[in-house]
Amino acid sequence: MKSFIAFWNILAKDMKNYYLKPPNISWGIIFPFAWMLMMLVKSKTAFNINEAFPGIVVISVLFGTTSMLSVTITFERKARSFERLLLAPISMELLILAKTTGAILFGIFNSSVPVLIAVIFFDATVNDWTGLLIGILFLAVISTLLALFISVSAKEVFEAQTYSNFYRFPMIFLCGLFFPVSSLPIFIQPLSYILPITYGVDVVKYSISGTNSLSIIVNIVVLVASCFILFYFSIRNIRRKWIV
């Protein structure tokens, strides 16, 4: 019971202090519109919403989770408030889970905005709603854990943001979001399949358009394994670098 209370208080504090601020909420709403406008300017004509739909959803999740978590984790470490959280009557694993849950929820919220806009106002179609929800959830978890894994090595907020940009921008073009992984140069394709985001993107694309490059079962298995691996190594790095 004490562990649950501590978990809830940490999550509630993060949501109030970081994620539910008006600028963050407005950013989650404006970002999809900005992406659609970029697609319109690029094509100079009306674009197929079903082609842009998966990209808008994935990028909303990726940037929403990584941007917020890299700031909150690094800021609290610099302010030494993270050290006070270590006194909470919960395990390190549950503490980190509480810290990452806020970013996961924020990423899911970010993705819900373009989904509702595309379906209601642009008549976009969704092939499998359950698959879309599963894909968004896994993408939010994977993106959050990637941000956590990278942010552990940062000492300043700007360093965390720089590290985040270093891996998330290449991932956008390597994960099969804009063009199939099979169309990439043969020596780059193994790198694409190493990235866990690739498998989340495949689930989202299948749930929206019904087309996929890999088996859905393979995608889910790789995503689940990636979540455990990233969580384990994030905890390991925190214990090694943050706790003396």
pLDDT of amino acid 243? 63
pTM (two decimals)? 0.84
Task: Identify the burial level of 23 via C-beta atoms within 10 angstroms of its C-beta, where 0-12 means exposed, 13-18 middle and 19 or more buried.
Answer: exposed
Other beta carbons within 10 angstroms of residue 166's beta carbon come to 10
pLDDT of amino acid 25? 59
- Domain with 77, as residue range(s), is 2-241
Query: What is the pLDDT averaged over residues 173-183?
Result: 80
pLDDT of amino acid 221? 93
Q: How far, in Å, CA of 47 to CA of 210, rounded?
A: 19
Report pLDDT digits (tens) over 24-81: 556 656 666 666 666 555 554 445 566 667 777 887 788 777 777 777 777 777 666 6
Specify the number of domains making up the chain: 1
Per the prediction, the chain carries an average pLDDT of 77
Query: What share of the chain has pLDDT > 90, as a percent?
Result: 4
pLDDT of amino acid 225? 93
Please tell me what DSSP assigns to residue 216.
H
